[in-house]
Copies of this chain bind each other. A is one copy, B any other.
C-alpha cells in the first residue's frame, strides 16, 4: 500500500487546507438607514461561510450603489468612506468562497443588472446543478455572461422571463433551476429571500427592534448574524418558501408543489457557527451530542480528550463529558493573520516550523490521547496533527471523527475535492488508520449522527437530511455532472 499523493508533499505551515469549505453567506436588510453598515456587520458574523471576497449592494431610494472586493469583510469594508458611499435603507450582501480557484473581482457577488423594471441585485448561497445546461441555452439566445459563476443564470433567467412583474419573473427563474440555493435579492421596491424546495442551505428571518415608521427586517444565512446586527430571531425561512419584504410587511409565497426538508447535515457537523440555531436546534448542542454519541459508539481507554481546534471543540466537550475522560486543550491555534508569509526554504522545511498550530506538551506528554476532529477529507491534516501530538510525547493517539467517512463530493454549495481525492473514498478505515498513523481510528455511524440530531435513525427511504457526502444519496439531480463519475465504493 503506497502513500497516496495527498499525504506526500505536505506544506509545512498550515494544517487548515484540508477542510471542506462552505461556499457562501448571504445577508439582506430592509430598514430606514445604515443598511450597508448592518449588512457588513452581518457578513462579518458569517465570515466563516466565505473568506475570499465580499460585496454589498444598497438602494437609497434613487439609485443602487455597490462595492465588492477580494478579502475578508473587515478588509473589503475597512475604509469608512466605502460604507459612506453605500447609502440607503435596504441592502443585500454576500461572502464568497471560490470553488474554482479563480477568485476574480467579476465573480464577486451580489450580482447586479439593469432590467427593464429597474435595477436588481441577487446574492446566492448554494450551487445549481443545471447551470451549465442553462448557460449554454442562454448564450445561444444572445445572453452575455460576465462572470463564471453558476449564480449568474438567475439574473439572465429573470431578464428574459416573459412575465412583467418582478416577483413573477423571479419565481419563473426559480422554477427553471435545479440545485441548492438560499437567495437574497433586492429591487427598488422590495427585498426577496428564497430557499430551494429541499431547503439544503440555511436561511433565517430576523427583526430589528427599531422602526416606528416602518418595520425593519433582516435575512441571513445563520442566526449568529442576528446579534451582530442587533436583530432578533423570527423564524427559519422554509424549504421552497419565497419571502417578499417591503414597507407593507412580509408576504410569503410557496411556489413549489414538491417540497421536502433535506437540510445539509454537514452544516451541523462543521459549517455553521456553533452559536447558531438552525431549525430549532443549537449547533453547539448538536455537536456536543455528536461527541457524546461518538463516545458511546467507539470509545477507547485514554487519559485525555483533545480537540483539533477550533471546530472539534464542542464535540470534544461532549465526548469528554460522556466518557468521563478529562477535556484538555492539547493543541493551541494562533489566531493572528492566517496566510503564510514566509517562503519555505529547504532549511525551514527541514526544521518543520509551524505557523498556525502548536502542541501543549504539558497536556500530551506521557498521555494516551483521544483526538476529536469533525471530519477527514484528504487526510493530510490528520496526519500532521497526529505527528505533532506524538512529537509532544503522547504515548497513544486515538482519532475519533464527529462525522461518518466523507466518500462523495458535494454539488450543492460546498467545495469538496474531486471524489478520488477523498481519503475515505479510496481507502477503508484500517488503511486510513495506518496512513494517518493513529493507534486507532473511529467515525460516528450515520445512524449515530442522526440520533445526535434527535432522530431515531436515518430513514433510508426518505432521509431527514441531505447526507450525500457520506451516502452518495443525492436528492437533487446532478444534471451538469456525468453521474458515471460518481462512484460507489
Contact = CB atoms under 8 A, between A and B. Distances in A.
A462 interface: no
Most chain B CB within a 10 A radius of its CB, from A75, A148, A360:
A360
A347 B210 contact: yes
Nearest to A144: B113
Nearest to A339: B74
Interface string A114-139: 11100000000000000000000001
Contact of A358 (B45, B341, B353): B45
A228 B360 contact: no
A328 interface: yes
Interface residues of A, number: 87
A414 interface: no
Contact of A143 (B74, B143, B335): B143
A146 B146 contact: yes
Contacts of A72: 336-337
A257 interface: no
A332 interface: yes
A115 B359 CA distance: 42
Contact of A342 (B40, B146, B350): B40
Contact of A74 (B74, B156, B341): B341
Interface stretch (A243-251, A277-285, A378-386, A431-439): A277-285
A101 interface: no
Contacts of A116: 139-140
A336 B139 contact: no
A230 interface: yes
A273 interface: yes
Interface stretch (A181-189, A258-266, A313-321, A398-406): A313-321
A334 interface: yes
B73 A336 contact: yes
Most chain B CB within a 10 A radius of its CB, from A34, A112, A359:
A34
B274 A336 contact: no
Give the interface SS of chain A, mostly helix, strand, loop or mixed: mixed
Contacts of A336: 44, 47, 51, 72-74
Contacts of A360: 274-275, 282, 284
B44 A355 contact: yes
A40 B342 CA distance: 8
A6 interface: no
Given A116-B140, A146-B113, A284-B329, A228 B275 contact: no
Contact of A351 (B47, B115, B209): B209
A51 B313 CA distance: 27
Given A47-B336, A83-B343, A145-B114, A228 B329 contact: no
Nearest to A48: B336
Given A345-B37, A347-B34, A355-B228, A44 B362 contact: no
A485 interface: no
15 contacts: A37-B343, A41-B355, A45-B358, A78-B341, A80-B341, A105-B105, A113-B146, A114-B139, A114-B145, A114-B148, A141-B160, A143-B144, A227-B354, A275-B358, A335-B335
Given A144-B146, A274-B332, 16 more contacts: A37-B343, A40-B342, A44-B341, A47-B334, A74-B341, A77-B341, A80-B342, A116-B139, A142-B143, A144-B144, A144-B156, A210-B347, A228-B355, A284-B360, A284-B362, A314-B329
